[in-house]
Amino acid sequence: MPSYYTSAPGKVILFGEHAVVYGKVATAGSLGLRSYTLVQTRTDGTIEANLPDVQLVRTWKSSDIPRQARWEGYPFPPAAMNTDLLDHLAQFVDLAAHRNQSQAAIALLYLHAYLATDDTATQGFDLSVRSNLPVGAGLGSSASYSVCLATALLKMNGHLSSLSTGAEQRELVNQWAFQAEKVIHGNPSGIDNTVSTLGGAVMFKKGEKIEPLPGFQSLRFLLTNTRVPRSTQVQVANVRKLQEKFPSVVNPMLDAIQEISISCKELFGQDDLERAQLLSRFGELVDVNHGLLAALGVSHPALEKVREISSKMGLKSKLTGAGGGGCALTLIRDDVTPETVAAVKQLLEAEGFQCLETQVGGPGAGVQTLEAPKTIAEFLTLDLTSLEVTPNWDYMV
Amino acid sequence: MPSYYTSAPGKVILFGEHAVVYGKVATAGSLGLRSYTLVQTRTDGTIEANLPDVQLVRTWKSSDIPRQARWEGYPFPPAAMNTDLLDHLAQFVDLAAHRNQSQAAIALLYLHAYLATDDTATQGFDLSVRSNLPVGAGLGSSASYSVCLATALLKMNGHLSSLSTGAEQRELVNQWAFQAEKVIHGNPSGIDNTVSTLGGAVMFKKGEKIEPLPGFQSLRFLLTNTRVPRSTQVQVANVRKLQEKFPSVVNPMLDAIQEISISCKELFGQDDLERAQLLSRFGELVDVNHGLLAALGVSHPALEKVREISSKMGLKSKLTGAGGGGCALTLIRDDVTPETVAAVKQLLEAEGFQCLETQVGGPGAGVQTLEAPKTIAEFLTLDLTSLEVTPNWDYMV
């Protein structure tokens, strides 16, 4: 009864939100905040899902799930989504439930339908997911679920050897995670699952291949969730309106934002740049990018408050994601004392914001083969920080 | 004993500060806040200056001031400054006094040396200046003094007929005002005196002719002096540092700022645009320009506070001038009620800021021939608002 942990990070946009909509290059990085999965085969032919973060506890009879025949390109997924299968799977979930629940469950069954071997299809399995990523905060929680899920089912069904060995394994995880993202989101960009799979940082541009950012060094951030609800659609539409009214003004601003990503890449490509200097320059790019986003009208008083508080302590912040609320990133340079970080956190929390210290640029998808099975209850009550320091992870790095 | 009032406005940069340093187009407008001069010939051969705003009260013997012979291009000033005369005049002022005082006095004597007729040189004159412009706040108080002075001396010495008739009179005032500005500042750009002379709004670009902005309509603003001391040099140097570090990022930002001025010109050139629509678009440009300046790092917490307070009341603000402190402009659309303006003022004043309601785009230099002489004391104690509504001004418009 093989048992595995899988793990995958969330993501943040470092530079280039909004500009990316206009075909400009943007930069994203993997977050230290991760999702974790326990997956293990059973003997009773049952599939059991425990996803406490979306309040989903559900079992299915494995024999009810239609398995897909071998296809061209196996074990990589077929290019087109199987809409017949999606329609069929809808009957196994409670569509009246919160969309997060039903989509997470369908994604699980969809990947199972393709990836199950005769053994796992007969025996069934249980899969439990926990996360220290807030849901719906623009931090890629669904992608980290999708990558955990893909890694878990690929591993359990014998499709993965070692994650740290080579591009093909990464590509396999990433492609299946992208399938899961498509089930969940309809038309995802593929950025979130790529960052979550690969870890580190990536540069991306609409319609072009997502490339790892070479030489990227892990950075510390304070991630502040303003808890101001945000709508990506509304913010994107507002920028579009401004761009249509004043294209000659807005277009060079979008170019400037793209050049921030390119300058960031250049910074990490400079071998002779000292770490302190790198962080200082990176902080300046953070400042300028936020300013440009504010100039595009996508900031919010709560985000400006984060800037004001952190700036008083000498720290650079920017909104991350669509803006209009949501999260801000504050760069913690190596020379910033724990006392300063604590003081900033205290001031931000006094505003009602939620603060998390985290790394950006850590490892991507990970898998660990457990020596003995865990009970689901053990996993669900585990202190998640203990998983972060568990050795024996096989990570994409 | 002819007596005249002269009057000239201050200026604000509407769009394009900092970008103008890089050869980009910027836009400035004349302020409703003005300086006023009373000038009248005497009979005792004394020149008396009363400039309470710079604490200058001084008399000279007119016969001590070396008069300049007629020169090529008379009565327009010679192209080069007369440095011998400047050196000579230095003995007549207290150089240990505040620089504002000595430079204002030298400018007065310098223009007198060129413009005096035999009559005024023999009789002497007194010249008193008052202003409702704060000194040293980047609002062109020295240019409004220079234009008042040039208009006063040109008029008293018979070089001006009517200000409202034609380009040559404007040019004459503007060129002499520019001479006074050179005495005061050394190497002024010529923008402040041009705006103050012509009134309305102008577009300008380093090394090119300053052009009136056609179709400009007068706009109401709340002008807030944060009272945070600022250094233009420091702010200009900071932007330069950023531009040198990240030219590919900063250059398109400067382009975007230039395009704001061009978009502003287009707005005022659109005959079919309703006033309400014009003001709404203008406000959006105000917002974007401030954002870009903040992104260049030249805002200040006090300026952001002005933005925060006015934005809560639905009003658009931007810093004006070099930033890092100094003044902010808040656009008062026609539909904004006096109660809203009062409420915003109250909130801003509670922060320790000084607020002035003013127009941008009003008349330039003005002159009025008085029917009877005034005493200096009368002028110095006059309620300045009474001068604003005095009829019979002959204005540059």
ipTM of this complex:
0.87
> What is the Cα–Cα distance from B154 to B148, expressed in whole angstroms?
10
Indicate yes or no: CB of B252 within 8 angstroms of CB of A256. yes
Instruction: Identify which of A60, A96, A202 has the alpha carbon closest to the alpha carbon of residue A140.
Output: A202
Which residue in B252, B256, B304 is closest to A308 by CB distance?
Answer: B304
Q: What beta strand segments (E) does chain B contain?
A: 3-15, 26-41, 46-51, 56-61, 124-131, 201-204, 211-212, 219-225, 317-320, 327-332, 354-360, 366-369, 394-395
Of A236-245, B25-34, B217-226, B387-396, give the lowest mean pLDDT range: B387-396
Chain B interface test: which of A25, A245, A249 (most B C-beta within 10 Å)? A249
Which CB contacts under 8 angstroms, 24+ apart, belong to B238-247?
Answer: B238/B297, B238/B298, B238/B324, B239/B18, B239/B21, B239/B296, B239/B297, B239/B298, B240/B21, B242/A284, B242/A288, B242/B296, B242/B297, B243/B22, B245/A281, B245/A284, B246/A259, B246/A260, B246/A263, B246/A284, B246/A285, B246/A288
Indicate yes or no: CB of A256 within 8 angstroms of CB of B262. no
> What is the Cα–Cα distance from A79 to A68, expressed in whole angstroms?
14
Of A148-152, B14-18, B226-230, give the lowest mean pLDDT range: B226-230
Indicate yes or no: CB of B284 within 8 angstroms of CB of A242. yes
Instruction: Return mean pLDDT, chain B.
Output: 93
> What is the Cα–Cα distance from B204 to B20, expressed in whole angstroms?
8
3-state secondary structure of B232: helix
Q: Is A304 on the interface with B (CB under 8 A)?
A: yes
Summarised one tens digit per residue, pLDDT across range A93-142 is 987 777 888 999 999 999 999 999 999 999 999 999 999 998 878 899 99
Which residue in B256, B294, B295 is closest to A249 by CB distance?
Answer: B256
- Report A:222-251 residues touching B (Cβ under 8 A): 242, 245-246, 248-251
Which residue type occupies A228?
Answer: V
Confidence category of residue A165, pLDDT binned at 50, 70, 90: low
Summarised one tens digit per residue, pLDDT across range A7-49 is 999 999 999 999 999 999 999 999 999 999 999 999 999 999 9
On chain A, the residues whose CB falls within 8 A of the CB of B295 are 287-288, 290-292, 294-295
Tell me, yes or no, if B383 is annotated catalytic.
no
Indicate yes or no: CB of A260 within 8 angstroms of CB of B252. no
Task: Give yes or no for residue B111 having a pLDDT over 80.
Answer: yes
pLDDT recorded at residue B396: 67
pLDDT recorded at residue B313: 95
Q: What average pLDDT does this structure show over B5-12?
A: 96
Q: What average pLDDT does this structure show over A241-249?
A: 98
Confidence category of residue A62, pLDDT binned at 50, 70, 90: very high
Task: Give yes or no for residue B254 having a pLDDT over 90.
Answer: yes
In terms of pLDDT, which residue wins out, A397 or A284? Answer: A284
Q: Is A192 on the interface with B (CB under 8 A)?
A: no
On chain B, the residues whose CB falls within 8 A of the CB of A259 are 246, 248-249, 252
- The percent of residues in chain B predicted with pLDDT above 70, rounded, is 98
pLDDT recorded at residue A131: 95
Confidence category of residue B89, pLDDT binned at 50, 70, 90: very high
Q: Is B256 on the interface with A (CB under 8 A)?
A: yes
Run of H or E including A32: strand A26-41
Strand partners, B130: B36
pLDDT recorded at residue A97: 74
Indicate yes or no: CB of B262 within 8 angstroms of CB of A248. yes
Q: What average pLDDT does this structure show over B176-191?
A: 92
Summarised one tens digit per residue, pLDDT across range A309-320 is 999 999 999 999
Indicate yes or no: CB of A290 within 8 angstroms of CB of B288. no
Prediction pTM value: 0.89
Task: Give yes or no for residue A68 having a pLDDT over 80.
Answer: yes
Interface A–B counts its CB contacts (< 8 A) at 100
Task: Give yes or no for residue B397 having a pLDDT over 70.
Answer: no
Q: What average pLDDT does this structure show over A357-380?
A: 93
Domains of chain B: 3-215+362-395 (3.30.230.10), 219-360 (3.30.70.890)
Task: Give yes or no for residue A397 having a pLDDT over 60.
Answer: no
pLDDT recorded at residue B269: 95
- Report B:27-86 residues touching A (Cβ under 8 A): none
pLDDT recorded at residue A149: 98
Instruction: Return mean pLDDT, chain A.
Output: 93
On chain A, the residues whose CB falls within 8 A of the CB of B294 are 291, 294-295
> What is the Cα–Cα distance from A244 to A22, expressed in whole angstroms?
12
Residue of B142, B146, B299, B317 with catalytic role? B142
